[in-house]
Structure 1
Amino acid sequence: MPIAFEDLGAGGPILAVLAVMSLLSWVLILVKIAQLWHCRSGQPRRAAAFQAWKAGDTAGAAAQLAQGKSPADRITGRAMEALSKGIRGTALDADLTRRGNEELARLGSGLRLLELIAMVSPLLGLLGTVLGMIQSFQELELAQGAANASVLAGGIWQALLTTAAGLLVAIPAAVAAGLFAARIDGAAQSIESAVGELMMLDAHPAI
């Protein structure tokens, strides 16, 4: 038999909040999947660009990376443009650090909200369960122990429903946040590796 919203008692409003949080988390997950899809790509493109750079075709190397979709492609392409113009040393390091931080901040946008949903959802579910249990025992007290056991059991499982709902919201959000954070860390490592390789080639072209 379908459960009406008003039949859920104290857990009803909390379930509504959890439903909104679930919708928000899935929207964030889909957005982040699209955003992070290419964040670690471009290794063959960068390898070809480095070969062109070693051969002296600096413009061609930068042009190859200009078509890349990953942060490592963009940062390395910027480094090539700067080196071609004679910009080196502290000024270049500061510019690349700033741009790298901006790229990582963009990749990490929304991740904190996803982590917050993963942390708060089980607590909201537990709160709904506690409130539901309180309501059930209040009804038992008012009935002076004459309450039907099936009615009491129904109130208890309705209360526990909020805990289950909180976990159902939290688990996908927590898993997604962890996977996204690992992917962003991988993108940061790709940036450092690519820029480091370029600086080595610039300092020692014969390598």
Structure 2
Amino acid sequence: MNIGTLSLPVDRFDSLLSLLEQGGPVVTLLLGLSIIAGGLVITKLVQFLRTGVGRYRCSSEALSLWLSGQRSEAEAMAASSDALMARTLLQLMRASQKSGWEERQLKEDIERVCAREILILRRFLKPLDMIAQTAPLIGLFGTVLGMIEAFQAMQGAGAAVDPSVLAGGIWVALLTTAVGLAVAIPVSAILGWLDARVEREQAEMESVVTAFFTGAPLGEPSSGQNAFVLARSGAAHAL
């Protein structure tokens, strides 16, 4: 093994230790917040991947089959996908064929289900938002403390002030603001992307549920037919 290949990680580790030593507890706190934010981002990405956020093809095809009267094929299509939208549509299909259910009750139930799923998707977004907002303030707080120390040292030195020492104290103080911004900027950008994905999922849920009850395909105006009534009448004929 070439010893030279180990120098880069060692240098980075030394640079990190030097950064923590110079920045003090404020930089240590910001580093801890960045680690927490990284863990939350990874958790959200895994959650979106497992729940199929953004996958709408299967639910769209299942809804088209359902509106055309092919209920068994539509249920099979929706059941074949583990995407959140497909699972929600499958639950709506099965509930609409239960005896004793009215359209109003079905709407209230599916609204409750959709609200719960969206709430789950929004989990951990608030902590990310708090980190994005507080990281610059924490960095600024560290800068203010560092500037106070630097000017106190300058006052104590009197006429024998060394400009290099003063400049060193100022740049160390500004270091905390730079670290705070370095934490906040990527967290804020990722948070905006995650929030946009959740909003799109919510809009897609509302669109699919509305199309299910109006009987109109996605992106087309309602034809005046009610898919819930059609499903119930079809089930009655089957009996």
TM-score normalised by the chain length of structure 2: 0.78
CA contact (8 A) 2:20 2:27 kept: no
CA contact (8 A) 2:20 2:28 kept: no
Greater CA drift, 76-85 or 115-124? 76-85
Distance 1:75 1:143, change over 3 A: same
CA contact (8 A) 1:132 1:156 kept: yes
Aligned-residue offset at 1:57: 3.0
Residue 105 (structure 1) aligns with: 119
Aligned-residue offset at 1:69: 3.2
Map 1:120-131 → 2, pairs under 5 A: 120-131=134-145
Partner of 2:147, secondary structure, is helix
Unaligned 5+ segments in structure 2 are 1-13, 216-224, 231-239
Give the alignment's Cα RMSD to 1 decimal: 2.0
1:154 aligned to 150, 168, 173, which one?
168
1:104 is aligned with what amino acid?
I
1:108 is aligned with what amino acid?
R
Partner of 1:105, secondary structure, is helix
Greater CA drift, 54-63 or 75-84? 54-63
CA contact (8 A) 1:45 1:65 kept: yes
Residue by residue over 1:142-186, the C-alpha shift from the partner in whole angstroms, topping out at 9 and shown as x without a partner, is: 111312111110110000000000000101111111111111010
Aligned length: 202
1:61 aligned to 66, 69, 74, which one?
74
Matched, 1:115 2:129: yes
CA contact (8 A) 2:67 2:212 kept: no
What is the rounded CA distance, in whole Å, between the counterparts of 1:149 and 1:140 in structure 2? 9
What is the rounded CA distance, in whole Å, between the counterparts of 1:104 and 1:120 in structure 2? 25
TM-score normalised by the chain length of structure 1: 0.89
1:197 aligned to 182, 202, 211, which one?
211
Unaligned 5+ segments in structure 1 are none
Aligned-residue offset at 1:45: 1.1
What is the rounded CA distance, in whole Å, between the counterparts of 1:197 and 1:40 in structure 2? 18
What is the rounded CA distance, in whole Å, between the counterparts of 2:21 and 2:186 in structure 1? 28
1:79 aligned to 87, 92, 113, which one?
92
Residue 200 (structure 2) aligns with: 186
Residue 27 (structure 1) aligns with: 39
CA contact (8 A) 1:39 1:71 kept: yes
Aligned-residue offset at 1:6: 7.8
Matched, 1:172 2:172: no
Residue by residue over 1:33-83, the C-alpha shift from the partner in whole angstroms, topping out at 9 and shown as x without a partner, is: 2222431212x2123212332343323312321233333222211110011
Identical amino acids, percent of aligned pairs:
34
Map 1:33-44 → 2, pairs under 5 A: 33-37=45-49, 38-42=52-56, 44=57
Residue 234 (structure 2) aligns with: none
